[in-house]
Amino acid sequence: MTEKTVTITNNVDGTSHEYPLHEGTIGPPAVDISALYRDAGFFTYDPGFMATASCHSAITYIDGEHGVLLYRGYPIEQLATKASFLEVAYLLLYGELPNERELVSFERVITQHTMLNENLKNFLDGFHYDAHPMAILCGVVGSLSAFYHESIDVNDPHYREISAHRLIAKVPTIAAAAYKHNIGEPIMYPRNDLRYGANFLYMMFATPCEDYEPGLLAEKALNLLFILHADHEQNASTSTVRLAGSSGANPFACVAAGIASLWGPAHGGANEAVLDMLTQIGDVSSVPKFIDKAKDKDDPFRLMGFGHRVYKNYDPRAKIIREVCHQVLEEMPGADNPLFELALELEEIALHDEYFVERKLYPNVDFYSGIIYSALGIPRNMFTVMFAVARTVGWVSHWTEMMSDPGNRIGRPRQIYCGPEPRDYVPISKR
């Protein structure tokens, strides 16, 4: 079979060079321009990676035009309604759905790794009581690298697997501990008799003087939200984990870098920002005013939870979450219905507004997730932490895939230098 190529012609000097076209299983092909600078003497410029594939990956596929999301080929809608979070974690990490024996063994391994080294508590205690839980999560996950460094050989698949298991198991324990620190309650140790989601709710809401039995609906809702947030191919935080890891760095430090990237309001921080925005809007009558603000180019306000770099259609995850919102809010005592009604109204108006229609701006995964988290009793400053707990699975799956790829090279973008031309040092007395 002849390899497909693309010819790039330099209209300035008239030279042409051929470059191989890489085709995936589905989705648009990519021109391999890695030899372009050697051949033609120029770089490509693509800030924000609008049209640049940074790797080959077999984990997740998104068709943004049609609102399709597949994990290892399985539609998100099927996984969200039929699978457990750890089943999906296994799928993302190993490439296939587990059989019963494999799932039981995976659940056991993850459960066995949920405890933290007691010394980690000292790190937690060092944080001020009002530290944002994302700051605590980032710092404490990064500090895990100090506990697991000498023993880890990132080039050995066995150690990579143990690191992935430790991260999937320990990030929820650290996340719940960050919350407890924030509210001044003692940290709750994980319970190995509970399932992944139920254990997380227990660590969040039990206290040494009062037990807590996680309700089935809450556990089910959490399972679904975790599945929907588990992976999303080369998003900012995952690309950060890959870039940090490409130098052979410690995986716990790489995941801390991913957490830092996730925190921003343009990425995972949007779920917290959505509820702040809805509270600020306050009432359906104020929606038009905020829609106008979002459209005003002189106003920095954006409709949080709207728009996506890849989806130019309804985010399939938002569609699923919106449906579950109805169920959770109907069945959960004390759930915040007015905010949901406000969100529905805002969506309705935005979806019919020319500005949003023209730019193909639809609700994304974060538009409705905070409403469910609130209904589960999870405070706003923990929303992005919840995202991080779920996305840890994606991060470790991508890190593992990259580290097992013999073609992996250190990530090192080029630049267009726009600084001063060469000049001589001027002694301080003459400046």
CB of 135 to ligand ACO, least distance (A): 19
Catalytic annotation, pick one of 366, 398, 405, 424: 366
> Collapsing DSSP states into helix, strand and coil, what is residue 402?
helix
Q: What are phi and psi of 17, to 5 degrees?
A: -140, 150
- Among 10, 413, 395, smallest CA distance to 234 is for 395
Among 134, 204, 260, 303, binds ligand ACO (CB under 6 A): 303
- Of all residues in the shown chain, the one whose CB is closest to ligand ACO is 307
Residue 220 touches ligand ACO, criterion: CB under 6 A:
no
**Rounded-to-integer distance, Cα 359 and Cα 426, Å:** 51
Among 98, 268, 316, 394, binds ligand ACO (CB under 6 A): 268
Q: Is 166 or 267 the residue whose CB approaches ligand ACO more closely?
A: 267
User: In 352-423, which ranges are E strands?
Assistant: none
Residue 322 touches ligand ACO, criterion: CB under 6 A:
no
Residue 116: count of CB within 10 angstroms of its CB: 21
Which parts of 237-266 interact with ligand ACO (CB under 6 A)?
266
Q: How many binding residues for ligand ACO (CB under 6 A)?
A: 19
Among 306, 314, 362, 368, binds ligand ACO (CB under 6 A): 306
Q: Which tokens hold the place of 363? A: 């609700």
- Among 380, 372, 311, 395, smallest CA distance to 80 is for 372
Q: Is 308 annotated in the active site?
A: yes
Residue 302 touches ligand ACO, criterion: CB under 6 A:
yes
* Helices 287-295 and 270-281: angle between axes, nearest 10 degrees: 130
**Rounded-to-integer distance, Cα 231 and Cα 394, Å:** 4
Among 365, 371, 372, 386, binds ligand ACO (CB under 6 A): 365
Residue 364 touches ligand ACO, criterion: CB under 6 A:
yes
- 306 DSSP 8-state letter: B
**Rounded-to-integer distance, Cα 175 and Cα 197, Å:** 13
Choices 38-46, 115-123, 280-288, 356-364; region in contact with ligand ACO by CB under 6 A: 356-364
Residue 366 touches ligand ACO, criterion: CB under 6 A:
yes
Catalytic annotation, pick one of 165, 267, 308, 398: 308
CB of 354 to ligand ACO, least distance (A): 12
Which parts of 4-63 interact with ligand ACO (CB under 6 A)?
48
SS3 content of the chain, % helix, strand, coil (to 5): 55, 5, 40
Q: Is 202 or 387 the residue whose CB approaches ligand ACO more closely?
A: 387
According to DSSP, the residues that pair with 412 across neighbouring strands are none
Q: Which tokens hold the place of 55? A: 């790797």
CB of 178 to ligand ACO, least distance (A): 20
**Catalytic residue ranges:** 308, 366
Footprint of ligand ACO (CB under 6 A): 48, 266-268, 270, 294, 302-309, 359, 361, 364-366
